Chain A
Amino acid sequence: MFTELDKRIIRELQEDLPLTSRPYKVIADKIGITEEELLAKVREFVDKGIIRRFGAALRHREVGFTANAMVVWDVPDEKTREVGAIMAGFPEVSHCYQRPRYPGWPYNMFTMVHGLSKEECEATAARIAERTGIKKYDLLYSTAELKKDSMKYFMEE
């Protein structure tokens, strides 16, 4: 599905773009293709959604979004589509996924809620609960970041 050239390009694009006037040319030279060929590939990957986003990954804590809560919800299985769509509509929610339940883990909907304070996250969760009618939920705040890396793909060969 991915050619060797594709993989070489992906390996470069998952690194940090050089801060020079023509960064794509630097990468293209390294790979041995032209700047135009590389730019066309990057655009193709973006168009196909292989690259979800091309740009800067920020440490959001450092920029002031200091309170981030993982809010987990117990949504009746038959209502997940409807409720998921409502939750996703909140601008404070960055991620909204349905995940499996386990014995001892009753929550099947996960939302990441960002705010400038814990109170803001709590108020957002309360508004979501109000709008969706989902009463059973919990806010899990992170207390420490133990690892945060970008995944490196196609490194094993």
Chain B
Amino acid sequence: MDSLDKQLLTLIQSDFPITPEPFKELALTLGTTEEDVIARLQKLKEEGIIRRIGGIFDSKKLGYFSTLCAIKVPEERIDEVAELINSYPGVTHNYLRQHEYNMWFTLIALSSQAVEDILEEMRRRTGIKDLINLPAINFFKIKVNFNLNEV
């Protein structure tokens, strides 16, 4: 990544132009050509730095219910339990963390009841009762913009 890549990435995390020729507009801002911007984005995607360009939706405003869950999985069952949990389409993120509650995943469903039903099914299918549902009660900050010029 060169400094232009970093500027481009910092810019498009939240200010991607919603205009007919967005890449041309970005090129004007950065002092380069549309072709260069497209080629850079292509490369950054291939390298896995950009996951996706598009809309990041507010699940609540779309009528969905989302939550964070944590489960205590015995070390030797991690692969098997991860496979089962990840098979649910509403599970979007799943991380192992260093804690007794070692598997942390986000779950999105059409209602809080649907979330409860899925979690109960997970408890039954894994045989693990230690699974806690941690929906957000209050939001103080949601920001996922990274200033790459600092890296």
Q: Is A bound to B?
A: yes
Q: A73 to chain B: closest CB distance in Å?
A: 12
A45 within 8 A of B: yes
In the complex the two chains form, is B55's CB within 8 Å of A13's CB? yes
A123 within 8 A of B: no
Q: Which residues of B contact A13 (CB under 8 A)?
A: 54-55, 57
Q: A12 to chain B: closest CB distance in Å?
A: 8
Q: B100 to chain A: closest CB distance in Å?
A: 8
Q: B62 to chain A: closest CB distance in Å?
A: 5
| Partner among B23, B54, B63, B141 whose Cβ is within 8 Å of the Cβ of A93 | B141
In the complex the two chains form, is B86's CB within 8 Å of A51's CB? no
Nearest A residue (CB) for B16? A55
In the complex the two chains form, is B59's CB within 8 Å of A153's CB? yes
Chain A contributes a number of interface residues (CB within 8 A of B) equal to 77
Nearest B residue (CB) for A83? B140
Contacts known (A21-B21, A21-B24, A51-B56); A63 close to B93, Cβ less than 8 A: no
Annotate B41-79 by CB proximity to A: 1 below 8 A, 0 otherwise: 110010111111111111101111000101000000000
In the complex the two chains form, is A19's CB within 8 Å of B38's CB? yes
B interface secondary structure, majority? mixed
In the complex the two chains form, is A21's CB within 8 Å of B23's CB? yes
Q: Which residues of A contact B130 (CB under 8 A)?
A: 104
**B56, B92, B139, B143, most chain A CB atoms within 10 A:** B56
How far is A112 from B59 in the complex, measured between Cα atoms in Å? 19
Q: Which residues of B contact A151 (CB under 8 A)?
A: 57, 59, 64, 90, 92, 108
Q: Which residues of B contact A138 (CB under 8 A)?
A: 99
Cβ < 8 Å to B, chain A residues 20-59: 20-25, 35, 39, 42-43, 45-46, 48-59
Q: Known pairs A55-B53, A96-B141, A151-B57. 12 more at Cβ < 8 A?
A: A19-B42, A21-B38, A50-B58, A50-B62, A56-B9, A56-B52, A94-B144, A105-B70, A114-B146, A141-B97, A142-B104, A146-B86
Chain A interface residues toward B at CB < 8 A: 1-2, 10, 13-17, 19-25, 35, 39, 42-43, 45-46, 48-60, 62-65, 70, 80-81, 84-85, 87-88, 93-100, 102, 104-105, 110, 114, 116, 138, 140-156
Chain B interface residues toward A at CB < 8 A: 1, 9, 12-16, 18-24, 34, 38, 41-42, 45, 47-59, 61-64, 68, 70, 82, 86, 89-99, 101, 103-105, 108, 110, 130, 132-144, 146, 148, 151
